[in-house]
Amino acid sequence: MGLRPGDALVSFGFSSLDQMAWLYAALHQGVATHFLNPQHRPEDLGRFLQQLRPSLLLHDAVTVSAAQAFAALVPDTPMRAMAQRGIGSGNESIAAEFPEDTVSHVCYSSGTTGVPKVVEYTHRSTVLHAWACALPDAMGLSSVDRVMPLMQNFHASAWGAPFVCPLVGASLVLVPLHRDPVQWFQWIEEHRVTVLGAVSAHWLALVRYMRTGGLRFSTLRRTVVGGTRLPSDVARFIQEELGVAVCHAWGMTETSPLATIERFDSSRASLGHGKPVFGIELAVQCEGGACLAEGTGELMARGHWVAHSTAKNGNWLATGDFATLHENAELEVIDRLEDALIADGIPLSSALVEYQARRVPGVADAALLVTDVASGQSALAWVAMPEVNFDAVTAELEQILSMAFNGWRPTQFIVVDAFPYTASAKVQKHLLKDHIARRHKDDAALTPTSSC
């Protein structure tokens, strides 16, 4: 098709054999694949396309209409269906020659705090990341494994699975299009999956479904869990009742994404995020040189596959995460920096607060919002199930959270109709805060009400 090293193509669609074929072909020729997330806002997608001016725009059956709408923004870019792979020449392809620091592919972050970030990976960083993923004390993959990541290729390269699986000869099972625990379980069984990549929200839904039906896995033996911290009782159920070893990892789109990993030990009181894999360095940076708690501050990362901007922090990535780095190098990510809370000198995880809140009958979803970091003021926003007594649920929330967190509880409890989510199912807390502030603009303290 005339594409050469350094050219860019846009892969606008969901994980499929067609998308994988185009990805591997582009890698072979030094052409950079940009994985556009169809779930991002149209205005962001349009901006990315106009800035990129790609040599080719690929779409699948799901995104064809959206791609046609975006085509007007890049009129000189040819558009093609991913299913239309060959060009009919029948000529054998020859690998192009290009430097190892050539861009291999591009992903866009989830946009939790605003406009998604553009993250470029190189052939060198991609190979090194895949090699690290396969190490025994990382994901420990080999040719006998059948791996299914429950995230699309546009979510941090499906955690590197398209690269680490062929590196070790493992089979790759692509994620189902719909977020459905019933189908996840069916595919795990049907395709004899041995390793599952999932975020905590995936596992919470899967455990709920399996408990209801009394189901067990026949081939799954290990899971790598990312995202917010998996509650210890859920990890214990997965490992002891389902017979699936639990590994908890931390990373970001900017870290390719693997940076740290921990194997769950049921004898420990809590589940952390593990230690850095070889090739990753971590540090904590305290604003103004003063830490809110010992070894705690903004998490900084650097390494062979960590994307960063050299403008401010050299080759360190300022993650925006509030974390504790213990003396034995174990990492505990507490929260996003803007949502950090310290209760009696101990960092508090909003993810664990929200998990406890969701266990209260009548609570469909919950999000802890820090309204004032200096004073520790916070509000628990929660979505009510139909026909619940707001006052009764609030009273139970206060009691449950106080018992779970040594007397601490949020300053306020506020019912909302729904939460704003990113494309990767993360609550956009900055938008939720703005929404609540507008509804309570006459009350600086955000006095709790029955609805907002």
What CA–CA distance (Å, rounded) separates 433 from 371? 8
Token digits for 313? 């922090």
Least confident of 229-238, 283-292, 356-365, 407-416: 283-292
Q: Where are the beta strands (DSSP E) in 344-384?
A: 346-348, 363-372, 377-384
From 116, 117, 114, select the one nearest 430 (Cα to Cα).
114
According to the model, what pLDDT value does residue 9 have? Answer: 97
Higher pLDDT, 222 or 113: 222
For the domain with range 347-439, which CATH number is right: 3.40.50.300, 3.30.70.260, 3.30.300.30, 3.40.50.970?
A: 3.30.300.30
Helix residue ranges per DSSP H, 266-316? 310-313
Find residue 9's DSSP bridge partners.
Answer: 33, 56
pLDDT per residue as tens digits for the range 131-177 = 999 999 999 999 999 999 999 999 999 999 999 999 999 999 999 88
According to the model, what pLDDT value does residue 355 have? Answer: 85
Higher pLDDT, 32 or 355: 32
For residue 449, pLDDT beyond 60 = no
Residues 198 and 212 sit within 8 Å (Cβ to Cβ): no
Mean pLDDT for 101-107 is: 97
Higher pLDDT, 348 or 192: 192
For the domain with range 122-335, which CATH number is right: 3.30.420.40, 3.40.1010.10, 3.40.50.12780, 3.30.360.10?
A: 3.40.50.12780
pTM: 0.86
Crossing angle of helices 123-134/161-168, nearest 10°?
A: 60
Architecture of the structural domain at 1-98: 3-Layer(aba) Sandwich (3.40)
For residue 398, pLDDT beyond 90 = yes
According to the model, what pLDDT value does residue 28 have? Answer: 94
Rg (CA), the chain: 23
Crossing angle of helices 181-190/200-213, nearest 10°?
A: 80
pLDDT per residue as tens digits for the range 64-83 = 999 999 999 999 999 999 99
Mean pLDDT for 266-292 is: 81
**Structural domain boundaries in the chain:** 1-98, 122-335, 347-439
Which helix (H) or strand (E) covers residue 258, if one does? strand 258-263
Burial environment of residue 119 by CB neighbours within 10 A (0 to 12, 13 to 18, 19 or more): buried
| Residue 364 neighbours by CB under 8 Å, 6+ apart | 358, 382, 383, 384, 385
What CA–CA distance (Å, rounded) separates 106 from 126? 11
Same fold, 1-98 and 122-335: yes
